[in-house]
Structure 1
Amino acid sequence: MPALTGELGTLRSAISLAKNGKGTEAMAAASSLDDPVARNLVTWLVIRSAPNDLGFERIAQFLKEKPYWPTQSTLRRKAEAVLYAEKPSAATVRAFFGDQAPLTGPGKIALARVLSASGDRATVAALVRDAYRTDDLSESSEGAILSEFGPLITRADHKARADKFSYKPDPERAMRAAQRAGSDVVALTRARLAIEKQDPNGASLLAQVPMTLSNDPAYLFAKSMVSRRAGRNEEAAQALLAAPDSAEAQVDTDEWWIERRLVSRELLDQGNARLAYKVAADAASPTANNYRAEQAFTAGWIALRFLNEPRLAAQHFARIDHQQDHPITLSRAAYWQGRAAQAMGDTGTARGRYEAAARYSTTFYGQAARARLGLPQVALRREPEPSSQAKANFDRIEVVRALKLLYAVGDRDTPITIYYDMAWRMEDTTHLVLLAQLAQANGDARGALVVGKEGLAEGHPLDHAAFPTFGLPSYTPIGNPVDKAMIYAVARQESQFNPRTLSSAKAMGLMQVTPAAGREVAKQTGAPYNEARLMSDQSYNVQFGAAELGELVENYSGNPLLVFAAYNAGRGSVRKWFARYGDPRDKDVDPIDWVECIPYSETRNYVQRVMENYLVYRQRFGIATPMPVAAR
């Protein structure tokens, strides 16, 4: 522990001031600290929360001297905002950016100002237009850009900005840009915003959009939404297929993929698999890695399981692992490549692909592949034991010392931000193991989980760290018994062991218990219900979450896939899915397909993640009963 024992109170106060946006006061308090690590920690926090109080020069100095401190991208973004506001010399601006491109709208404009003075009109125009089209500029920043660089910004730029913030949606930004673009864009934007918030007038507003925009991608996107919600899915598909597939035309290819996914699945449910496939397969490539993988998977899955075209399916599945490196994605790709090869009668290739998936035994599809191969479904790797020299070197890392200071003052939130960044950037397995051990030594299940998950994602053997067996309090069971593995599996996904988690749907605490579920548990068990305690009392929260799981276990004869689906989406949804897709407990229903048929993207992912958690935790807690998830 750094020699700060007598100064922890001062550090605690400085951290609190920094987190509350009082940067000047925080820095004043930190100035009396003897430990330079403590002072750097406060400076780092002030840059993140109150950068204007520090000023550009001091922020730039910190970035130069401390390039290994976490969240460098965030720090640079903060620096760019202050740079824009302070308008330092051209030499200062050029020196700050060097050969690095600006990350923010204010940064782009700050650089454009300097380049404009030197006559680089082409670069200036590119920077200004990019900032205006894509960045979350405030109203005052928009006005400043238009005042300073107005002639460079075209109607097309205003239209693109209106489109971007109609996808998000951000009504104020969208309408400001639309009004600058013209009355036709105003009509389209107003209709789109109404449709996004499911205003009943949305369809009629769309009908009032001038015909000159009837082939505009934004119009076609809105038309698809209206048609889909009205159950006219073929019409929605035609609108999507009529749009150009370039990223520039669509503005937000991720949102376009989400809409295509919804339409494709509606078409599947209606029995129109051929059109469902086309809607999925012809999508412009999304920007986000997970959406790109999902798009390739969806097209391949439909081709294999609904069109019986395994060769076509294999081509789509092969695209997934060419662009991804996450174990969850790689195992899914390999498993379905195996299924496609098996459908073509190529048993050798099928086995090879199942073996590739089986390497990832902490993932849903890795476990499914292992079941097909007759292997134990989970094979956890042991972390290497760091040497005493490695431990000494690790303890000398400045940010590690900062983590220890945070724990010493009782801050258990800031370490999570640091763990995410360090675990993502660290390449040495031993350092990752030591980082996880630091979290474990401080009883920080959230921190251990973050380090473990990031380590697994980068290929490191942090299987045990990624599935902490601590972090939940003891509780008195009420209702039907539930095994410990199931409770940990759910908590790991629901809250990541953060007892203060509160969702937009008012799901609360470690087990994300909703008020409705809490009242139902109280009714069924006779336990007293107190909504406030679901947040304030961790044991009470786990008690009620476990009781809800117990009811579902009894209701679904212990089938974990159904238990987890109902815990996330409700029993009513599961009943609907029985009617549409059958009961995965029946021998003629493939449980893997049943999960992939779930129409809610969140629930599909949830069931897979909690199921993989469950099998790992069964092993970690010594519950040996096999839980097969392989297709029958």
Structure 2
Amino acid sequence: MQKRAGLLLVAGVSIAATTAAAMTPHVASDATARAAWLPIAALLQTGLQGQTSAELARPAPAIAVDIARWNSLRQSDSLPFTSYASFLIGHRGWPGEAAMRRTAERQADPSVANPGEIVRFFTVFPPLTNTGHARYAFALMATGRRDDARREALAAWTGGVLTLPDEQRILGAFGPTFTQADHDARMDALLSNGDTQSAARAMALVSAARRPVFETRLALQTRASDAAARLAALGSDGAGDPGLLVDRANWMRNTTNSAGARQLMAQRRQLSRLPANPEKFMETMLVMARGAANDGQWPTAYQIASQVDDLFPAGTDVSTRSYGERDKYTDLTWLAGRAALRLGRNADAAGMFERYGRGAASSQTRAKGFFWAGRATAAAGNAEAASALFRQAASSPDQFYGQLALERLGETAPPPSAQPPATPAERAAFDARPLVQAIRYLGSTGNRADQTLFVRALADQLDDDRQREVASEFGRSIGRLDLGVWAAREARGDGDSFYATGAFPNVSIPPAYSRYWAFAHGIMRQESSFERTAVSSAGARGLMQLMPGTARQASSRVGLSYDLSRLTGDPDYNVMLGTHHLSELMNEWGGSAILVAAAYNAGSGNVRRWVAANGDPRMPGVDPIAWIEDIPFAETRNYVQRVIENTVVYDMLDPNSRGGPRGRISAFIGRRPG
């Protein structure tokens, strides 16, 4: 660590000894934790060269100290519990909170940390993991709250995977209070998670009635030599056990009997109990149903996927379940709906697509489900019910399927609203947010990468359109156009909407390519969210996310020298090369927005293969909406829809527009949606 005049240096500014001392209350109960803050200065010192001694002596702002602590904590998973706990409690909603909470839970050992502080932490942050439930139980026990301790211990025990020391400690302290039903629940959880070692240890504790099924499941998972014999010995016993069904199907598939596994999962059945882990059960259903669909076995695919509601209590609102469960549920209902269409069963398809829409939390997924349900309902001959479903989808006019639904209803998408500017009071309240202060500070130090994390975190915490408008104004004022975009995305993910001009920033487009103004903006909004320094994991750079090779070719064609650094350092340079590349794709694909967007994301070679396999979406006999859904790359499938929906909106904002109807998605998919 660099030292000067007895001062700690953080982010190019010094933290005086008094500031360092002020940090100690956060970790006052743990001397080791106090020592853990010593490396902070080394983490963030930047830009020291050329600073005057007065600048170096200036105390760091409080937010700089907080950022330094945050950086230190997120880069280590072995600091004392109190280090993580005190920071999390005082800095709700900072980037990486969930990961830091999991680390805190692993470090929450009441034999090392103060049990009272552990209890306080879990009171604020309920456990995310089984380890967290176990450590909470130990801390509650240490503070004399035995009944509460048993509750958490039981949650840990029946939740499944634990470290061996935690398992032994729970069993020793609370085992006598557990019932055989509790031990059976633990075994279900362990086997659902594939923890065969823990399951073998716990087998002696389960009920005699369920032990044969559990032992057979363990044999199937470990591919034991007696697995088939155990399965045969069971006979019809356990036939309705969901765990046995899944383990048997996976065992059959893993022993080269995929056809038998699919038929097993396709059979109509009465489960004797609900699955301990619906998400894991659905994973197996998806593998089997997708395998059947890929082999053209559409009746089997439908029979498997359409049984997904049997995994939940009657009347369950799946949209309120965990992300993993929602994701698998919508995958299965979507597959069942597409399979039903293949079989000419429009009414069944409509039912599955409507379940897809109702099982989603995001407005994007809901719009997709209701549009396809409306389409299938119309094909089944019920125009009135179809219109009602299209109306539900049309409540999302900024989204691909909402725009399609509007046009099916004979309407055009409305332009995004122009929100009233922020009031002084709104700005003051907004500026007081710690995340806003962090974004400002990181911008002042040039740390754009970390600033991006805070931009995303802030967008996730905006509760209404006024807050989102203030945030988008703030983003524009500091050169973070992506803040308004992320505010809209986070709203969409929560089932809400921020359909305002602040969510659709714009930049200068070279006059030579002004006819592509709307499409170029549609690409930038999806590619980089208008973050000019964005670099993807694949190496794509800048506003239009150009790969270096593509940028080099484009630069030679427009008569500019190639400069890698300018792709992220000069937005005009990036947009010049990007719009030229876009113009070449437009020429190659005859101006088809679908094919150009697909080629921009996945390359023209892949697009040629998809056209050869699925037809040309420009041709009358090819359904362009289904063509997009049949793109085999999930990223590209989503990309094409997002770019087109963005382009529809930007077409209404295009300053170069020559008039004519706007807000119609048919202008970009080539025909009126059927």
TM-score above 0.5, yes or no: yes
CA distances 1:55-114 after superposition (whole Å, capped 9, x unpaired): 444554444555576665455434333323863343333333238632234423322334
Contact 1:507 1:513 in 2 (8 A): yes
Amino acid at match of 2:595: L
Tell whether 2:84 aligns with 1:42: no
> What residue is the counterpart of 2:634 in the other structure?
601
2 CA distance for matches of 1:502 and 1:34?
A: 30
Tell whether 2:165 aligns with 1:144: yes
Report SS of the residue matched to 1:24: coil
> What residue is the counterpart of 2:290 in the other structure?
262
Contact 2:422 2:470 in 1 (8 A): yes
CA distances 1:129-180 after superposition (whole Å, capped 9, x unpaired): 35652x7xxxxxx353356457779899689658647xxxxxxxx7976997
> What residue is the counterpart of 1:193 in the other structure?
none
CA distances 1:211-258 after superposition (whole Å, capped 9, x unpaired): 35876624633654887xxxx975563254369795436662463355
2 CA distance for matches of 1:505 and 1:319?
A: 36
2 CA distance for matches of 1:223 and 1:547?
A: 54
Contact 2:249 2:265 in 1 (8 A): yes
Cα distance change on mapping 1:499 and 1:281 into 2, 3 Å: farther
2 CA distance for matches of 1:505 and 1:26?
A: 31
Contact 1:217 1:250 in 2 (8 A): no
Contact 1:60 1:79 in 2 (8 A): yes
> What residue is the counterpart of 1:414 in the other structure?
450
Contact 1:115 1:123 in 2 (8 A): no
Contact 2:487 2:498 in 1 (8 A): no
What are the residue-to-residue correspondences of 1:347-358 with 2, within 5 Å?
A: 347-358=383-394
Tell whether 2:459 aligns with 1:430: no
> What residue is the counterpart of 1:26 in the other structure?
40
Tell whether 2:134 aligns with 1:109: yes
Cα distance change on mapping 1:37 and 1:343 into 2, 3 Å: same
2 CA distance for matches of 1:532 and 1:35?
A: 32
Give the stretch that moved more between structures: 73-82 or 310-319: 73-82
Amino acid at match of 1:144: P
Amino acid at match of 2:165: A
2 CA distance for matches of 1:529 and 1:238?
A: 58
Give the stretch that moved more between structures: 511-520 or 460-469: 511-520
> What residue is the counterpart of 1:335 in the other structure?
371
> What residue is the counterpart of 2:49 in the other structure?
none
Match of 2:350 among 278, 293, 314: 314
Tell whether 2:591 aligns with 1:558: yes
Q: What's the CA shift for 1:607?
A: 1.8
Contact 2:330 2:356 in 1 (8 A): yes
Cα distance change on mapping 1:186 and 1:207 into 2, 3 Å: closer
Cα distance change on mapping 1:328 and 1:212 into 2, 3 Å: farther
1 CA distance for matches of 2:552 and 2:589?
A: 21
Cα distance change on mapping 1:361 and 1:124 into 2, 3 Å: closer
CA RMSD between the two structures: 4.8
Match of 1:83 among 108, 124, 144: 108
Give the stretch that moved more between structures: 155-164 or 610-619: 155-164
2 CA distance for matches of 1:475 and 1:212?
A: 73
Cα distance change on mapping 1:313 and 1:150 into 2, 3 Å: same
2 CA distance for matches of 1:218 and 1:597?
A: 31
CA distances 1:26-83 after superposition (whole Å, capped 9, x unpaired): 2799998364344344344444444755x44455444455557666545543433332
1 CA distance for matches of 2:595 and 2:136?
A: 55
Contact 2:509 2:517 in 1 (8 A): no
Unmatched 5+ stretches in structure 2: 1-6, 16-22, 24-34, 46-56, 176-181, 204-214, 232-243, 313-322
Contact 1:116 1:124 in 2 (8 A): no
Q: What's the CA shift for 1:433?
A: 1.0
Contact 2:395 2:402 in 1 (8 A): yes
Amino acid at match of 1:217: V
Amino acid at match of 2:474: L
Contact 1:362 1:613 in 2 (8 A): yes
Matched length: 580
Give the alignment's TM-score, normalised by structure 1: 0.74
Amino acid at match of 2:673: A
Give the stretch that moved more between structures: 406-415 or 175-184: 175-184
CA distances 1:445-493 after superposition (whole Å, capped 9, x unpaired): 33332123223445343432333224xx87899xx99823333323332
Cα distance change on mapping 1:113 and 1:359 into 2, 3 Å: closer
> What residue is the counterpart of 2:20 in the other structure?
none
Match of 2:409 among 370, 373, 376: 373
Match of 2:649 among 600, 616, 619: 616
What are the residue-to-residue correspondences of 1:267-278 with 2, within 5 Å?
A: 267=295, 270=296, 272-278=297-303
Contact 1:455 1:462 in 2 (8 A): no
Tell whether 2:631 aligns with 1:631: no
Amino acid at match of 1:279: I
Amino acid at match of 1:386: A
Report SS of the residue matched to 1:407: helix
Give the stretch that moved more between structures: 81-90 or 400-409: 81-90
2 CA distance for matches of 1:531 and 1:11?
A: 27
Amino acid at match of 2:646: N
Cα distance change on mapping 1:352 and 1:149 into 2, 3 Å: closer
2 CA distance for matches of 1:580 and 1:236?
A: 29
Q: What's the CA shift for 1:436?
A: 1.5
2 CA distance for matches of 1:442 and 1:355?
A: 39
Q: What's the CA shift for 1:579?
A: 4.2
2 CA distance for matches of 1:89 and 1:382?
A: 53
Match of 2:335 among 298, 307, 311: 298
Q: What's the CA shift for 1:260?
A: 4.6
Contact 1:506 1:514 in 2 (8 A): yes
Amino acid at match of 2:118: V
Q: What's the CA shift for 1:531?
A: 8.2
Tell whether 2:611 aligns with 1:578: yes
Report SS of the residue matched to 2:448: coil
Contact 1:456 1:466 in 2 (8 A): no
Contact 1:11 1:38 in 2 (8 A): yes
CA distances 1:551-610 after superposition (whole Å, capped 9, x unpaired): 432232111112222333444443443344332211122211222233333332222122
Report SS of the residue matched to 2:617: coil
Match of 2:481 among 407, 425, 445: 445
Amino acid at match of 2:40: A
2 CA distance for matches of 1:392 and 1:501?
A: 30
Cα distance change on mapping 1:125 and 1:534 into 2, 3 Å: same
Amino acid at match of 1:97: F
Cα distance change on mapping 1:554 and 1:291 into 2, 3 Å: farther
Report SS of the residue matched to 1:293: helix
Match of 2:154 among 97, 121, 126: 126
> What residue is the counterpart of 1:468 in the other structure?
505
Cα distance change on mapping 1:436 and 1:292 into 2, 3 Å: farther
Contact 1:296 1:319 in 2 (8 A): yes
Report SS of the residue matched to 1:376: coil
Give the stretch that moved more between structures: 587-596 or 209-218: 209-218
Give the stretch that moved more between structures: 482-491 or 382-391: 482-491
Contact 1:382 1:461 in 2 (8 A): no
Contact 1:47 1:78 in 2 (8 A): no
Contact 1:561 1:611 in 2 (8 A): yes
1 CA distance for matches of 2:230 and 2:519?
A: 53
Cα distance change on mapping 1:181 and 1:589 into 2, 3 Å: farther
Give the alignment's TM-score, normalised by structure 2: 0.70
Q: What's the CA shift for 1:262?
A: 2.8
1 CA distance for matches of 2:167 and 2:399?
A: 50
